[in-house]
Structure 1
Amino acid sequence: MRNTDRTDIYTRVTNEIVAAIEVGAGSWTMPWHHDGSAIARPVNAATGKAYRGSNILSLWIAAQACGFSSGRWASYRQWQALGAQVRKGEQSTTIVFWKINQRGDDSEDPDGDENTQGRPRMFARGYSVFNEAQVDGYTAPVIELLSEETRLQNADAFWANLGILTCHGGNEAFYVPSEDRVQIPEFSQFKDPAGYYGTLYHEGLHATGAGHRCDRDLSGRFGSDRYAAEEAIALSGQSAPCLTLH
């Protein structure tokens, strides 16, 4: 891949993220007191595999901006293979896949640096995908869901096995590193179970940074780079399918 092509991919993805930031977050409502767009981790409709890395953010941004309620995406050809057709005039969303050239040569990169020859190298590939809401003729697969009671029991059991001290009460949710404790409002204060467990597991992901777990630096104050990085970790981890109640 030429360096100019690679730069174009980075630029497109960056511009989409910047545009979303410039639009603003709007009015955020705490889950214990979602505009309907997809909040679960985006998946490829053809392969069933979940998207990773910056692609999660890019697809979330597109879903929120366009009001898509589905988290299923695929390329134009993939939708065709599924018997669906992207509607005329629909705008695609750019995602990026990385490929490792184990040979370490520059056969795929004519602008390669002589100093890096012989080493494994990574190449970015840009792809255009469309949301399920942008196609006609697609019937989503029927998923056999557990009952809500069973899902809540599984979520509670999973949390209990983590061994994190949890205190209920008040009107705030946070993790206290010095006490290895999660504080969260009562279950009854949340609008729905997804709001409760999403918040609980978010704070639990902060708890993974404790010294006896992943040992991350949790000393960053609000507004600092460390604080922002920690929030990004918790938000990214919160997107894991195993923590999603929908």
Structure 2
Amino acid sequence: MSLVSTSAKRADVYSRVTAEIIAAIERGTGEWRAPWFHDGASIARPTNIASGMRYRGINTLALWAAGFAAGYGDGLWGTYKQWHGAGAQVREGERSTTVVLWREIATSRQEDGDDADDEGRRRMFARAFSVFNVAQVDGYERPPVQGLPESERLAHAEAFIVNLGIKTEFGRLEACYRPSADTVFMPPFTAFRDAASFYGVWLHENGHASGAKHRLDRDLSGRFGSAAYAAEECCVEILSGLVLADLGIAHHPSPDHAAYVASWLKVLKNDPRAIFTAASKAQQAADWMHAQQPQAKEMAA
């Protein structure tokens, strides 16, 4: 068999497997949300205090921008009057954010000119409102939400992650790995909807940490260029699933998960070998995690 023929067959396998993965991702429906913020209070879900309704369209973008810029951790917003009606007080000197309410109004024939019909027509009218985030008010407390009980912690998973030797700080609103501090930041256990979500996210962030220069020195920029971030996310998400399986923790793909990994689609479509590289790097990181466990170190000694 010629070298060209072998290469062509390998490329066909890459393309076929990648196409199947892409199809599975594209079948996913629903809006992805992080497994924490199970009460819907995330900054990413701007909600009105009075109506309980989600803001939409450009208002969502405006409140995202304002919320992230100010470092708010909650997506609850309302006008001065609405906060007052909820028994809260907007603090003096707080800066509002503008949102727009669109209303449909009827116009007369005279207003629309001679081309209008006898009944006139309806037009959209925009009215601006000034809103404030819950972080800008005093005297308001959210109703208590039943959190994930501590009794559902899994001792063997806790021990596995602690044995990695990567520092974790809990109590944050978001999960992330900060290379400058070589530290994983996590929401508390009680903020997650189930134990599998908690350990999956914790492993995901430790997966990012595994790629640090003094560990596996994983640099995907040379392989993927500007798409390196998406490739890294793909890698550590696969890693999380691998280790959860090793630990015997249920990890069922779901539509919202598929919507999340849809961000990888461009990388996968542009490069059929990308998923193979991500899976290989994920397995390398999983092997490194297992090598940090006491029993593995004893066998190596």
Q: Please give the range of the TM-score, normalised by the shorter of the 2 chains.
A: 0.3 to 0.5
**Structure with max Cα Rg:** 2
Q: TM-score, normalised by structure 1?
A: 0.46
More helix as a share of residues = 2
Higher RCO, 1 vs 2 (CA within 8 Å, ≥6 residues apart): 2
